[in-house]
């Protein structure tokens, strides 16, 4: 008896209940095993590095930085590890983008590019449920991994904050915070997924994801973030170091004179205090100028994290919903 | 063994002998003319002695008085001991221009004629024919229905299709008469200038028309059904 | 079983400004192996995509398996589709594909599928991308058949296969049709290989359905008349689909039954499926659809849509 004449089993009566959602767990895992493994490898390798270096950091801080303003601290701790800390924070900026591009973009782009959607979308599960289940599962996995990683990173950075070398509110470190980092990773994933569905080719979708993410992250850091809450205004010269100074300018006699950066202030200082060695602020206030600072106090750090996390989450949900909608209505 | 040579022979025996002669012809022991002659004699034989004489110069392995239907190993039809399943296999000639279902019908009739099939044998299951030839199942069903209409087969529900009658339902005098008429026609055709190919072409074309008219009117009314064919 | 596996009325699909399929009305009955034939670009893939729910119609509608809307969960459940180039996840093994398909469907006959792969000699642990073309096609077919569909739709499944693989593939498809009563719709641009396989023919040309009907009926209602070329133009006996003429002799493909009277000096022959299809392909205005006949001779009744 050949295979071609194998006796067949009569199919049992199928009810019209939809195929259970939980089936997609294995499907998603098996199909995206490689991407998830890559994610684990990347974050894992970084985590190992942070762990080992972080131990050294904490040790050094404990040894030298009591008090934190001592010279010993400045030499043995800040001087030795400061640059490392900076480099790590710069490097980690790229991580959400990479995750979004290389995990998110291929999910749908590869199906469209290789034509396997003609298999996947004609199975009994149904195409939009398939897309929704897969995207939600991957989104949760990505966000959870990023969240765990950001907790580790906060631990890593903690000595720098304690020594006053860095503040959480700084531009480079804010989006690596424990709420912002997973939120940005999730948003990058959502951008990648939508780009993949629109562009339908893996490599262009990856490129587009990186570009869009870079644009969005820059726009947020440079412009959007400062407006989450109305900044406070003050004329005090010495602000707490934890505050995020959004902008500073000088007025004289109630009139705006010039901003705290740029040729205006440079000319004024060199004209008024030609051989002065102190800060420009002291020079100018002695000559009747008032320094205004618009700032966000350090206490607003966590509310800002939640605001940023919130709108990024909403954006991600919107992008993923748009993707599922596209899957539902897209013609082959 | 020789004591019953005066006994009269039956149609089945004559048929069986024709089959044996065909074997020898295929093996090359007889040429066309001899074969035609001996088959003619077999068809008009009256006693066993007449039949015995036909094989006088042909090698036999223990020739029985009444030749059995061919069996045994090697290249003889029937191949090996009969087990379950059908004794025959179909083949398909895609270039012949003959409709597939007709090819199957012809092959069954041919097998009956040569003794590969005898009454009680089972035809291959539809599913097996489909699997080995990659043809539409309805084609096989149509062929089997045609055979049933001709009275050659009968379907047993749940089991399959079985041979129920042999060929050559034509009575012997009629057969001899037909042969004579055919030879007369051939002589006339030859005198008119037709060569052998021309005769074959004319005959084939007329036969096709005859089949069309007879087969067309019969199958248009009937619907193909799968009830008589048992599927495992 | 007298439902229609595919029913289309006025179905049309436009891509940009081109109509890939137009005014397509079909009723393919169940229990048949239907061949969808036509030159490249005729709209075969478009029609199949519409039927399995991969594309949305621009005009008209299409239902499957007795009235279920194409692409609906009920339709997806009963139809198994194997697209052109048999898409498989190349980095997944045969066994993985089985498990995947089992998870994505309500019913899946895993033992049958595994046994089939074993008998076909397809190693279940080898990645699908490393299998030969014939093995990939058989794997895709196994996945489809193990879903126990009512309708199997195949889009040019044999384009990449060698003759032996093609034979085995079709044998598998037809055995499923014979045993389980699965209806089959398969497309190809090579009619010769479908002749002994199909009992229902749909001929698509330039996005329109030219011929649709039972093969037996089509062959029974067409004749090839051979006769003097001089009389060919004056022939008005039956609708002429296509005429071929030389100086003295002409062949006319007409819609006529076997027992229709043949004019004196003319001969009538039955027509083969390939010859019939070729004739229609050469005459874009001719059609043989269920309903009144249409040929080149003007008839008072037009084919109904």
Nearest Cα residue to C153 out of C174, C181, C195, C183: C183
CB pairs under 8 A between A and B: 6
B79, part of any domain: no
Do B149 and B213 share a domain, yes or no? no
Nearest CA distance, B128 vs chain A (angstrom): 7
Query: Residue C217: pLDDT above 60?
Result: yes
Which of C214, C248, C263 is the endpoint of a domain? C214
ipTM rounded to 2 decimals? 0.87
Euclidean distance between CA atoms B47 and B67, whole angstroms: 13
* Minimum CA–CA partner of B221 in chain C: C217
Query: Residue A103: pLDDT above 50?
Result: yes
Interface mutation vs chain A, best among C46, C48, C73, C136, most A CBs within 10 Å? C73
B83, part of any domain: no
Q: In chain A, what residues touch B232 (CB-CB under 8 Å)? A: 7
Q: A185-189, A306-310, B90-94: which range is least confident on average?
A: B90-94
Summarised one tens digit per residue, pLDDT across range B123-139 is 999 999 999 999 999 99
Q: Does B216 touch chain C (CB under 8 A)?
A: yes
Here the tokens at position A191 are: 């951008």
Which of C187, C214, C241 is the endpoint of a domain? C214
Q: Does A7 touch chain B (CB under 8 A)?
A: yes
The domain in which residue B202 lies consists of 172-221
Nearest CA distance, A196 vs chain C (angstrom): 18
Euclidean distance between CA atoms B57 and B59, whole angstroms: 7
pLDDT of the residue at B76 = 39
User: pLDDT tier at B151 (50, 70, 90 boundaries)?
Assistant: confident
* Partner-chain contact C171 B132, CB within 8 Å: yes
Euclidean distance between CA atoms A331 and C10, whole angstroms: 19
The secondary structure of A3-25 as a DSSP string is: GGG---PPPPPPPSPPPPTTHHH
C305, part of any domain: no
Average pLDDT over residues A257-280: 79
CB pairs under 8 A between A and C: 113
DSSP state, A285?
Answer: H
The count of domains in chain B is 3
Query: Percentage of residues in chain A with pLDDT exceeding 70?
Result: 94
Do C133 and C257 share a domain, yes or no? no
Do C36 and C122 share a domain, yes or no? yes
The count of domains in chain C is 2
Do C207 and C255 share a domain, yes or no? no
User: Higher confidence at residue C113 or residue B118?
Assistant: C113
The domain in which residue C266 lies consists of 221-282
pLDDT of the residue at B115 = 79
| Residue in C76, C85, C176 nearest the CB of A124 | C76
Summarised one tens digit per residue, pLDDT across range B16-58 is 777 677 777 767 787 777 877 887 787 777 777 777 777 777 7
Touching subunits for chain C (3+ Cβ pairs under 8 A): A, B
Share in percent of chain B as helix, strand, coil (round to 5)? 50, 5, 45
C294, part of any domain: no
pLDDT of the residue at C2 = 75
Query: Residue A93: pLDDT above 70?
Result: yes
Nearest Cα residue to C33 out of C202, C164, C159: C202
DSSP state, A2?
Answer: -
Do C85 and C104 share a domain, yes or no? yes
For residues C105 and C147, is the Cβ–Cβ distance under 8 A? yes
Q: What is the CATH number of the domain that holds C131?
A: 3.40.50.300
Do C154 and C268 share a domain, yes or no? no
Q: In chain B, what residues touch A2 (CB-CB under 8 Å)? A: 131
Do C170 and C274 share a domain, yes or no? no
Do B9 and B63 share a domain, yes or no? yes
pLDDT of the residue at A171 = 85
Euclidean distance between CA atoms B15 and B101, whole angstroms: 26
Nearest CA distance, C175 vs chain B (angstrom): 6
Do B189 and B158 share a domain, yes or no? no
pLDDT of the residue at C195 = 79
Q: A73-77, B139-143, B187-191: which range is least confident on average?
A: A73-77
Do C199 and C227 share a domain, yes or no? no
Which of B133, B163, B193 is the endpoint of a domain? B163
Touching subunits for chain A (3+ Cβ pairs under 8 A): B, C
Do C21 and C165 share a domain, yes or no? yes
Interface mutation vs chain B, best among C1, C2, C167, C174, most B CBs within 10 Å? C174
Summarised one tens digit per residue, pLDDT across range B61-80 is 444 444 444 444 334 344 44
Query: Cβ–Cβ contacts within 10 Å for residue C47, how many?
Result: 29
Interface mutation vs chain C, best among A20, A30, A123, most C CBs within 10 Å? A123
Do C232 and C184 share a domain, yes or no? no
pLDDT of the residue at B171 = 56
Do B184 and B146 share a domain, yes or no? no
Q: A151-165, A283-297, C69-83, C164-178: which range is least confident on average?
A: A283-297
For residues B92 and C196, is the Cβ–Cβ distance under 8 A? yes
Average pLDDT over residues A55-67: 86
Do B35 and B9 share a domain, yes or no? yes
C196, part of any domain: yes
pLDDT of the residue at A14 = 46
The secondary structure of C204-222 as a DSSP string is: EETTEEEEEEEHHHHHHTE
- Determine how β-strand C4-15 pairs with β-strand C200-205: unpaired
Q: What is the CATH number of the domain that holds B154?
A: 1.10.10.10
C272, part of any domain: yes
Query: Percentage of residues in chain B with pLDDT exceeding 90?
Result: 19
Q: Does B134 touch chain A (CB under 8 A)?
A: no
Q: Which residues of B123-141 are buried (b: 16+ CB within 10 A; e: fewer)?
A: bbbbbbbbbbbbbbbbbbb
Do B63 and B119 share a domain, yes or no? no
pLDDT of the residue at B60 = 56
pLDDT of the residue at A216 = 96
User: pLDDT tier at A290 (50, 70, 90 boundaries)?
Assistant: confident
* Minimum CA–CA partner of A110 in chain C: C89
pLDDT of the residue at A10 = 44
Which of B17, B52, B71 is the endpoint of a domain? B71
Here the tokens at position C127 are: 């990645």
pLDDT of the residue at B168 = 60
Nearest CA distance, A4 vs chain B (angstrom): 6
* Partner-chain contact B131 A7, CB within 8 Å: no
B76, part of any domain: no
The secondary structure of C7-31 as a DSSP string is: EEEEEEEEETTEEEEEEEEEEEETT
C119-124: long-range contacts, CB 8 A cutoff, minimum separation 24: C119/A2, C119/A3, C119/A4, C119/A6, C120/A3, C120/C168, C122/C94, C123/C94, C124/C93, C124/C94, C124/C95, C124/C98
Give the mean pLDDT of chain A: 88
Which of B71, B88, B116 is the endpoint of a domain? B71
User: pLDDT tier at A4 (50, 70, 90 boundaries)?
Assistant: very low
Segment (H or E) for A291: strand A290-296
Interface mutation vs chain C, best among B101, B104, B138, most C CBs within 10 Å? B138
Nearest Cα residue to C213 out of C262, C255, C245: C255
pLDDT of the residue at B26 = 67
C56, part of any domain: yes
pLDDT of the residue at B173 = 67
Do C191 and C232 share a domain, yes or no? no
pLDDT of the residue at A307 = 94
Distances (CA, A) of C213 to A279, B37, B106, C58, C285: 94, 51, 27, 25, 17
Q: In chain B, what residues touch C225 (CB-CB under 8 Å)? A: none
Average pLDDT over residues A142-168: 91
B228, part of any domain: no
C57, part of any domain: yes
Do C79 and C197 share a domain, yes or no? yes
pLDDT of the residue at B43 = 77
B134, part of any domain: yes
User: pLDDT tier at B169 (50, 70, 90 boundaries)?
Assistant: low
Do B159 and B204 share a domain, yes or no? no
Query: Residue B117: pLDDT above 50?
Result: yes
Q: In chain C, what residues touch B208 (CB-CB under 8 Å)? A: 270
* Minimum CA–CA partner of B211 in chain C: C258
Q: What is the pTM of this model?
A: 0.77
pLDDT of the residue at A12 = 43
Do C59 and C182 share a domain, yes or no? yes
pLDDT of the residue at B170 = 57
B106, part of any domain: yes
User: pLDDT tier at B216 (50, 70, 90 boundaries)?
Assistant: low
C16: left (phi over 0), alpha (psi -120 to 50) or beta: left
Average pLDDT over residues C86-101: 93
Query: Percentage of residues in chain A with pLDDT exceeding 90?
Result: 54
């Amino acid at each position: 008896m050949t295979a071609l004449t194998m006796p067949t089993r009569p199919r049992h009566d199928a009810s019209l209940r939809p195929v259970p959602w939980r089936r997609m767990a294995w499907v998603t895992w098996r199909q995206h095993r490689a991407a998830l493994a890559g994610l684990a490898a990347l974050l894992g390798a970084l985590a190992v590095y942070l762990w080992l270096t972080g131990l050294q950091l904490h040790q050094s801080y404990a040894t030298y930085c009591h008090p934190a303003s001592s010279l010993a601290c400045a030499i043995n701790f800040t001087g030795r590890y400061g640059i490392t800390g900076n480099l790590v924070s710069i490097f980690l900026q790229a991580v959400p983008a990479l995750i979004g591009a290389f995990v998110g973009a291929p999910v749908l782009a590869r199906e469209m590019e290789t034509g396997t959607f003609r298999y996947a979308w004609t199975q009994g599960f149904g195409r939009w449920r398939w897309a929704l289940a897969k995207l939600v599962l991957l989104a949760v996995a990505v966000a959870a991994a990023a969240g765990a990683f950001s907790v580790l990173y906060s631990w890593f950075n903690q000595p720098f904050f304690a020594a006053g070398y860095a503040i959480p509110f700084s531009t480079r470190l804010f989006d690596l915070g424990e709420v912002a980092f997973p939120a940005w990773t999730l948003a990058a994933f959502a951008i990648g997924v939508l780009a993949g569905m629109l562009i339908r080719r893996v490599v262009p979708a990856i490129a587009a994801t990186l570009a869009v993410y870079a644009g969005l992250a820059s726009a947020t850091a440079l412009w959007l973030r400062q407006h989450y809450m109305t900044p406070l205004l003050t004329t005090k010269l010495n602000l707490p170091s934890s505050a995020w100074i959004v902008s500073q300018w000088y007025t004289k006699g109630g009139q705006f004179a010039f901003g705290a950066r740029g040729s205006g202030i440079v000319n004024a200082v060199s004209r008024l205090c030609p051989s002065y060695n102190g800060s420009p602020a002291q020079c100018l206030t002695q000559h009747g100028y008032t320094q205004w600072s618009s700032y966000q106090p350090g206490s607003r750090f966590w509310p800002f994290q939640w605001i940023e996390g919130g709108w990024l989450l909403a954006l991600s949900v919107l992008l993923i919903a748009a993707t599922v909608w596209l899957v539902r209505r897209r013609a082959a | 063994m020789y004591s019953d040579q005066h006994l009269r022979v039956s149609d089945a025996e004559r048929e069986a002998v024709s089959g044996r002669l065909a074997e020898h012809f295929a093996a090359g022991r007889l040429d066309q003319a001899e074969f035609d002659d001996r088959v003619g004699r077999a068809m008009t034989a009256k006693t066993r002695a007449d039949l015995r004489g036909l094989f006088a110069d042909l090698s036999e392995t223990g020739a029985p008085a009444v030749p059995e239907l061919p069996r045994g190993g090697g290249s003889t039809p029937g191949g090996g001991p009969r087990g379950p399943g059908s004794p025959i296999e179909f083949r398909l000639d895609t270039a012949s221009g003959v409709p597939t279902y007709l090819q199957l019908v012809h092959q069954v009739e041919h097998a009956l004629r040569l003794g590969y099939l005898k009454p009680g044998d089972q035809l291959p299951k539809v599913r097996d024919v489909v699997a080995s030839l990659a043809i539409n199942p309805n084609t096989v069903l149509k062929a089997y229905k045609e055979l049933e209409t001709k009275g050659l087969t009968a379907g047993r529900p749940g089991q399959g299709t079985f041979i129920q009658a042999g060929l050559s339902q034509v009575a012997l005098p009629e057969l001899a008469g037909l042969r004579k008429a055919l030879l007369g026609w051939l002589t006339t055709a030859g005198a008119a200038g037709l060569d052998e190919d021309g005769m074959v072409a004319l005959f084939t074309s007329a036969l096709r028309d005859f089949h069309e008219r007879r087969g067309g009117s019969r199958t248009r009314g009937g619907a193909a059904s799968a009830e008589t064919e048992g599927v495992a | 079983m007298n439902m229609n596996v595919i029913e289309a009325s006025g179905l049309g699909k436009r891509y940009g400004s081109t109509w890939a399929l137009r005014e397509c009305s079909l009723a393919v009955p169940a229990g048949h192996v239907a061949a969808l034939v036509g030159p490249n670009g005729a709209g075969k893939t478009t029609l199949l995509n519409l039927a399995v729910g991969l594309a949305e119609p621009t005009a008209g509608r299409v239902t499957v398996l007795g009235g279920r809307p194409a692409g609906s969960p009920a339709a997806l459940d009963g139809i198994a589709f194997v697209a052109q180039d048999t898409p498989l996840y190349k980095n997944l093994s045969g066994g993985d594909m089985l498990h995947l398909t089992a998870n994505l469907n309500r019913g899946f006959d895993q033992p049958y599928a595994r046994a089939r792969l074993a008998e076909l000699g397809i190693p279940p642990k080898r990645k699908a991308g490393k299998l030969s073309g014939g093995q990939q096609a058989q794997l895709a077919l196994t996945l489809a058949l193990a879903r126990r569909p009512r309708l199997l739709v195949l889009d040019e499944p044999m384009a990449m296969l060698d003759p032996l693989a093609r034979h085995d593939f079709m044998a598998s498809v037809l055995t499923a049709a014979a045993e389980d009563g699965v209806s089959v719709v398969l497309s190809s641009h090579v009619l010769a290989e479908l002749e002994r396989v199909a009992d229902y023919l749909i001929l698509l040309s330039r996005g329109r359905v030219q011929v649709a009907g039972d093969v037996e009926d089509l062959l029974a209602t067409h004749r090839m008349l051979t006769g003097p070329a001089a009389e060919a133009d004056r022939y008005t006996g039956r609708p002429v689909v296509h005429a071929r003429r030389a100086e003295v002799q002409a062949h006319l493909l007409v819609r006529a039954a076997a027992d229709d009277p043949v004019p004196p000096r003319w001969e009538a022959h039955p027509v083969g499926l390939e010859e019939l299809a070729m004739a229609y392909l050469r005459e874009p205005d001719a059609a043989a659809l269920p309903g009144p006949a249409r040929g080149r001779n003007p008839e008072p009744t037009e084919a109904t849509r």
